Amino acid sequence: MIAIKIDVQGTELDVLQSAKTIIGKHKPVIFFEYESEYIGDDEGSVQKEYMEFFETLGYDLYHNPSFGSLLPKIELMGYFNGDVIAFPRQQQ
């Protein structure tokens, strides 16, 4: 399994978009932190960009509240802070 961990204090989407070709080719599991406080006033459109990015590449997002636990599939809508794991659909 290939995995990517991203922790760049609010610019995760920029990193993801820069790595889109690699992500699309290798389908890694992706760990990242999503914090509404870093998004600013345009949170709704940024959340939509995240969801479209992962949907386009065939990923589902899950909330990981603590090591070893995984909550059901999520959508980044409304106020959300937390650790997220993105799984390519064929690896679930």
Whether 37 maps to a domain, the answer reads yes
> Structurally, how many domains does the chain consist of?
1
Whether 57 maps to a domain, the answer reads yes
Question: So what's the pLDDT on residue 42?
Answer: 64
Question: So what's the pLDDT on residue 90?
Answer: 78
Q: Are strands 29-35 and 59-63 parallel, antiparallel or unpaired?
A: unpaired
What is the reported pTM? 0.81
Whether 86 maps to a domain, the answer reads no
Whether 83 maps to a domain, the answer reads no
Whether 43 maps to a domain, the answer reads yes
Give the range of the structural domain holding residue 58, as residue numbers without chain letter: 31-69
Whether 39 maps to a domain, the answer reads yes
> Per-block average pLDDT, block size 10, for the chain (92 residues)?
89 94 96 76 73 94 74 64 87 52
Q: 36 vs 28, 40, 87, CA distance in Å?
A: 24, 7, 21
Whether 9 maps to a domain, the answer reads no
